[in-house]
Amino acid sequence: MKTNRRNFIKISGAGIGTAAIGSSVFSWANGDLLNSAIPTPTFTSKTPTYCEVCFWKCAGWVTKDENGEIWKLEGHKDDPHCNGRLCPRGTAGVGMYHDEDRLKTPLIRVEQNGKQVFKKASWSEAFKVIGDKMKTIAKEYGPDSMALFTHGSGGKFLGHTLKAYGSYNITAPSFAQCRGPREVAFISTFGEGVYSPERTDIRDTRCLVLIGSHIGENMHNGQVQEMSEAIDKGATIITVDPRFSTAASKSKFWLPIKPSTDIALLLAWIHVIINEEWYDKEYVEKNTFGFDQLKDHVQTFTPEWAYGITTIEPKVIRETAKEMANASPAVIVHPGRHVTWYGDDTQRLRAVAILNALLGSWGRRGGFYNPDKVSIPDFPHPPYPNPKHTWKDAADGKFDLATEVVSNALVDATIPNENRDWNIKGWIVNGTNLIHTLPDQERTFKAIEALDLLVVIDTMPMEITGYADVVLPECTYLERYDSIRNSPHREPVISLRMPAVKPKYDSKPDWWIAQQLGFELGLDEYFQYKDIEEVLDWQLKKVGSSLAEMQKIGVKKLKREYDDLYFLEGQENLFNTNTGKIELYATDLANAGFPPMPVYTEHAQPQPGFYRLNYGRAPAHTFSRTSNNPNLVDIMPENELWVNPKVAKQWALKNGQYVWLKNQDEKVSTFSIKVRITERIRWDSVYMAHGFGHTQKKLSRAFGKGASDTELISNVMYDPAMGGTGMRGNFVTILTEKPETVEAS
Ligand SMILES: Nc1nc2c(c(=O)[nH]1)N[C@H]1C(S)=C(S)[C@@H](COP(=O)(O)OP(=O)(O)OC[C@H]3O[C@@H](n4cnc5c(=O)[nH]c(N)nc54)[C@H](O)[C@@H]3O)O[C@H]1N2
Ligand SMILES: Nc1nc2c(c(=O)[nH]1)N[C@H]1C(S)=C(S)[C@@H](COP(=O)(O)OP(=O)(O)OC[C@H]3O[C@@H](n4cnc5c(=O)[nH]c(N)nc54)[C@H](O)[C@@H]3O)O[C@H]1N2
Ligand code: SF4
Ligand SMILES: [Mo]
């Protein structure tokens, strides 16, 4: 289906809420300043930071007024992640600091009159409980029976403590619940991953193909800005999404694909581009391995074949393939980010990688650039002990191609299994609300049940803190130093976060928590520094700066060592794959027993009366972490259920009515969700933003607001290659009457 701006205006005019935010998203990226109406106070001081509201990590400044109160947060103009502009969530980051529901002191679980309660504790009491338990675990089961789940900046410090203690079971949900399949697929194809920020050269692209990626609702800052810039410069946007997303509204082509059938579309595009000889012949000849096998492989995957599967007309498939070819090599078939959908995600992302290879976009301007980063040396410490077990020992040879630790495999390794002599016995959970983050909550609860020790480090009382033996309150990013941000970009760049204000209550930074826990465990030799300033200054001096300099400038760009942002004409390219070429035929997948070229698998479709549960991002929120933020609650207090008018009619639903949902496994949503009737969703699916439906009563603004998608994701489609948790194979039916729900915690 072709769209243009006029018919978007019509649609968004008829819609509500998100549609309005949707269009403002891009005007924000075009440079409208959010804070322009605020008068400047008489005296201000500025300290550098980088944002922790999401993982794009934009660098910025914290400005304080004459009373030393935080007055505003703004973007750092030298920072390529943000180009001087924070997104609305980033501007509202100060709400994390002000939130009166914050964790205030360490808490220890105790029994009182036969009931388990949290007792306020001092830090030394809390460390004593944790240290004693960790020493017992090390003695009885081995130190590799401890695991660390961590998401966010402080993970490096705690990871160091865990490795010094003797465990490498350190995992972030951003691999197996998020970008893992694309990293594995791109490493298989090009010998390198996509990384974060993505190495997509969007600002100079002439054609951007978004498959699911809903940039604009997915508010990763620099990426939204570059897409806006590309549109202004006349780039074609092609969006493949069963839902009319904000990105779809900016697109020349919107392909409302039948959910779960993308691989068929990708194979048909590959078929057309090869058979019409629209690929970059010289590039393919010179750089790739396996072209002939690929050509044979796709012969039957015609647009007519794909039409029957995807519902996308053959003419549209050919026309969009031609658009891509016309733009080549300045074309990006975007790899997406949260790509754990249907369990065959590595296969889908391989098809995406192959398409980019055929169009010659890898290593080319307007395609994928070669990023560079500053490597920050570790502060000197003795070597870490070698652990006897890692998660792989519990995975029975599964997920062989995983390039990072698989969170869900650590959960499995925690659930006792009589065929295994090694189980995980203790978790430290830092900055990840596993109850909302991992699908199949029953499994998460089963693992938590089996633990001897659960330590949770968070800024807020979240669902996961309710299950902890010990809760440690971290101070917010505005109150602390952290590790140097050295993410890869077009130019190597570093950024400093330092405290703008003193930690509120009895909260402490992760670097301090990690060091004190190290002392408690007798690992003093690994922590031979007075404080973090000593470590940062030492590290910064190694890379040509200093703490004093970074405190003043916040962001420092360094020179690229080589002129290799793009491939040079006439240059021989060597890729880090088995063949040294871009592998259209993936030898590592073949060696591990997986299909070396992408295959389409048919997935289950909803039964009558059920709808596929689709979910995604809301521009004003980040996962479950901002739903209590006083500044953001005002913009979006709850999520809504997008329902097609045809479905609404069948169920006699009205706009604004509250309903409950029940999935294929009889899981019922704890809370109700408000119906939003809209043409923007297909009739076979319903849609909601992730991150709502909090059951933690201590979240005074977020408790009971909206519904949780995670509660309804009990069917997980595991990616056999790398352990990713496909979450989109769940179906829900609508309950208009209040069911007997579980009592919330
Ligand atoms: N505001 C905001 N922005 C964020 C975040 C946030 O929390 N808040 N989180 C960040 C993070 S960590 C990530 S990983 C990214 C995630 O953002 P993306 O990687 O862009 O999004 P996905 O979750 O993969 O995709 C969601 C889109 O996929 C569509 N979709 C559903 N099923 C199918 C299908 O079968 N085929 C196709 N083609 N499309 C389908 C949905 O309709 C929806 O529009 O967002 C980042 N940006
Ligand atoms: N059902 C479902 N599951 C998903 C997704 C989905 O869309 N739907 N998305 C997946 C994706 S793409 C990702 S990347 C993951 C994200 O998963 P998570 O990162 O686990 O996401 P959040 O739910 O925001 O949990 C973050 C936790 O960190 C805490 N926190 C915030 N700031 C700080 C801090 O400075 N220090 C500490 N110690 N804690 C802090 C918050 O209070 C919150 O408890 O979730 C994945 N899981
Ligand atoms: S994109 Fe927004 S929320 Fe994310 S780091 Fe940047 S300013 Fe913060
Ligand atoms: Mo993510």
501 in any annotated domain: no
pLDDT band at 741 (very low <50, low <70, confident <90, very high): low
Q: Which residues, chain by chain, have CB under 5 Å from ion ligand 4?
A: 178, 338
Looking at the structure, tell me whether residues 574 and 721 fall in a common domain: no
Looking at the structure, tell me whether residues 585 and 639 fall in a common domain: no
Best probe residue, ligand 3, of 50, 82, 632 (max atoms within 8 Å of C-beta): 82
Looking at the structure, tell me whether residues 587 and 617 fall in a common domain: no
Q: Which atom of ligand 3 is nearest to the CA of 57?
A: 5
pLDDT of residue 744: 46
pLDDT of residue 66: 87
Q: Which residues does a 6 A CB cutoff place in the pocket of ligand 1?
A: 54-55, 178, 211-214, 218-220, 240-243, 245, 257, 259-260, 262, 336-339, 614, 616-617, 619, 621-623, 728
631 in any annotated domain: yes
267 in any annotated domain: yes
Residue of the nearest CA to atom 6 in ligand 1? 622
pLDDT band at 421 (very low <50, low <70, confident <90, very high): confident
CA of 214 to the centre of ligand 3 (A): 16
Looking at the structure, tell me whether residues 633 and 685 fall in a common domain: yes
541 in any annotated domain: no
Is 627 in contact with 699 (CB distance < 8 Å)? yes
Looking at the structure, tell me whether residues 571 and 623 fall in a common domain: no
Nearest ligand, measured from the Cα of 79:
3
Looking at the structure, tell me whether residues 730 and 649 fall in a common domain: yes
Q: Does position 14 have pLDDT exceeding 50, yes or no? A: no
Looking at the structure, tell me whether residues 347 and 231 fall in a common domain: yes
For the domain that residue 672 is a member of, what is the CATH number? 2.40.40.20
| Interval 208-232: pLDDT, tens | 999 999 999 999 999 999 999 999 9
What residue numbers bound the domain in which 569 lies? Answer: 196-370+565-591
Who has greater pLDDT, 740 or 716? 716
Burial status of residue 675 (CB atoms within 10 A of its CB: 0-12, 13-18, 19 or more)? buried
Best probe residue, ligand 3, of 56, 81, 487 (max atoms within 8 Å of C-beta): 56
pLDDT band at 261 (very low <50, low <70, confident <90, very high): very high
| Interval 55-108: pLDDT, tens | 999 999 999 998 899 999 999 999 999 999 999 999 999 999 999 999 999 999
Residue of the nearest CA to atom 42 in ligand 1? 243
pLDDT of residue 469: 98
Q: Does position 44 have pLDDT exceeding 60, yes or no? A: yes
Share of the chain above pLDDT 90, in %: 90
CA–centroid distance for 272 within its chain: 32
For the domain that residue 325 is a member of, what is the CATH number? 3.40.228.10
458 in any annotated domain: no
The average confidence (pLDDT) of the chain is: 93
Looking at the structure, tell me whether residues 267 and 233 fall in a common domain: yes
Residues in the chain: 745
State mean pLDDT over 441-457: 98
Residue of the nearest CA to atom 5 in ligand 3? 57
Is 126 in contact with 472 (CB distance < 8 Å)? yes
Query: Considering only 363-372, 393-402, 627-636, which range has the smallest mean pLDDT?
Result: 393-402
CA of 213 to the centre of ligand 2 (A): 19
180 in any annotated domain: no
Among 687, 627, 662, 688, smallest CA distance to 742 is for 662
744 in any annotated domain: no
**Residue 373 structure tokens:** 């980063």
Looking at the structure, tell me whether residues 576 and 662 fall in a common domain: no
Question: How many domains is the chain built from?
Answer: 2
Looking at the structure, tell me whether residues 659 and 575 fall in a common domain: no
Best probe residue, ligand 3, of 34, 74, 221 (max atoms within 8 Å of C-beta): 221
Write the secondary structure of 454-512 as one string of H (helix), E (strand) and C (coil). Answer: EEEEECCCCCHHHHCCEEEEECCHHHCCCCCECCCECCCEEECCCCCCCCCCCCECHHH
Query: What's 251's DSSP letter?
Result: -
| Interval 148-160: pLDDT, tens | 999 999 999 999 9
Q: Domain boundary at 556, 591, 626, which?
A: 591
CA of 647 to the centre of ligand 1 (A): 23
Query: What's 576's DSSP letter?
Result: S
pTM above 0.85, yes or no: yes
Quick one: angle between helices 123-141 and 510-520, nearest 10? 60
580 in any annotated domain: yes
Looking at the structure, tell me whether residues 631 and 716 fall in a common domain: yes
93 C-beta closer than 6 A to ligand 2: no
Looking at the structure, tell me whether residues 219 and 343 fall in a common domain: yes
